[in-house]
Amino acid sequence: MKQLFNYCPVHWYEKEMQSYPGGVDGYLQANKMDGLELYVYGTEGYPTDYSKQAVGTHLKFWPYWLDFWRGDKAALLHNFGSEQDVLDYYYGARDNGEWLAVMRKNVEASLLVKPKYFVWHVAHCDFDEIFTWNFKYTDAEVIDATIEIVNAIADSIPDDVTVLFENLWWPGLKLTDPSMVDRLFSGIKKNNVGIMLDTGHLMNTNINLTNEAEGVDYICSVAKQLGMYKNYIKGMHLSCSLSGAYLKAKSWDGKVEKTPAFMMHHITQIDQHKNFKEEGLGRLIACLEPEYVVHELFYDTMVELAGYLKVQSALLEK
C-alpha cells in the first residue's frame, strides 16, 4: 500500500517546496509519504518535472457538463449568463468534438509525469442544484453519458495506466447503488479500470452521520454491498466530511449568490476534506484493502499539511 497526498503546484506551494531541505523528495521522506497524486487540470504540462514523484494524476473535472454534451443551449445560458462564459468554462470548446479534443490534451498533459493511474470524476451538478439538490439528471443518465465520453477518448489512454473512477454525492457514481456501479463498468470499453473511493464524498451521501466511527462503519457497509465490485477499489481518497448538520440547517436559503466564490464556499462546507483524528482507520484499511491511500486534504501551507499527514497516517494502523 502506497501513501500519497494531493498536490497542485500553485506558486505558494512551489515556493515552500523549493525552500524545503531536499525539495519535494525531502518533503515526502520527512512525512513518510511514497509520492504525490498530482492535479493536472490544464492542457499543458507543468514547468517542474514531477515524473519521479507523481504516482497518479487527477484529470480535469467539469462539475457542470451534461447540458453541454446534450447541446442544451438554453440551460447553458441560464447557468452561465453569456455564451462567452460557456466558452471559457469549456476551455474554448464549442461542441462535443472540440471538448473531447480538450480532454485528450488534458490526458496528454497528465501522461507527461508517467502516472500509474488517472482519477476520473463521475458526477454532474448545475449551478442551481448545488443548493437545491433537485437534480435534473439521474445517476443512470450521468453514468451513460460518462461512458460515451470515456469510450470516445479511451484510445488516448495507454493500457498500462489504470483509470480509477471516483464517487461523489451528486448524480452519477455515488457507490450507494451497486446496479449503477455495474452499469458503469459494463459500459466502459477499457480493461484497466477501477474505483477511487473518496471517503468524504461517500460520507456526504449520509447526512445522519455524526462522528468518525459512524463514518467508517458506513463506508465499510457500502463497500461490502458492492459484491464483486468491491475488488475494483484500487485507491482511496482519505478525508473526513461530517456535513450533515450544515445540510440539515440549510442556512444558505434566501442568501444564494451564484458567484464562483459563494458556490465554492458552499461546496467546501459540504465536502470538508478534513483529516481523521480518531482511531478506526485500521478497520477501514482492512475492509477496503487499497493499493493507494491518498491523503486528500484542504491545506493552505505545506507546513500545515505536514501536521495533518502526521495525524492521519498514524491512524491507519489503529
- pLDDT, tens only, 245-255: 999 988 888 77
Distance CA 242, CA 223 (A): 19
Provide the grid cell at 21.
Answer: 531541505
Q: What burial letters (b/e) apply to 290-308, b meaning 16+ CB within 10 Å?
A: bbbbbbbbebeebeebbeb
Dihedral pair phi/psi, residue 193, rounded to 5°: -135, 165
pTM of the model: 0.96
From the list 168, 175, 124, the residue with the least C-alpha distance to 271 is 168
pLDDT above 90 (res 318): no
- The confidence score (pLDDT) of residue 16 equals 94
Distance CA 115, CA 117 (A): 5
- The confidence score (pLDDT) of residue 253 equals 80
Share of the chain above pLDDT 70, in %: 100
pLDDT above 90 (res 143): yes
- The confidence score (pLDDT) of residue 6 equals 98
- The confidence score (pLDDT) of residue 251 equals 81
CA 293 to chain centre: 13
pLDDT digits 0-9 by tens, 87-139: 999 999 999 999 999 999 999 999 999 999 999 999 999 999 999 999 999 99
pLDDT digits 0-9 by tens, 286-304: 999 999 999 999 999 999 9
Q: What is the Rg, in whole angstroms, of the alpha carbon atoms belonging to the chain?
A: 19
> What are the start-end ranges of the H helices in the chain?
11-19, 23-30, 66-70, 73-80, 83-89, 96-111, 129-132, 139-153, 178-187, 199-203, 212-224, 244-249, 260-270, 281-288, 302-314
Query: For 255-270, what is the mean pLDDT?
Result: 90
- The confidence score (pLDDT) of residue 250 equals 85
pLDDT digits 0-9 by tens, 15-61: 999 999 999 999 999 999 999 999 999 999 999 999 999 999 999 99
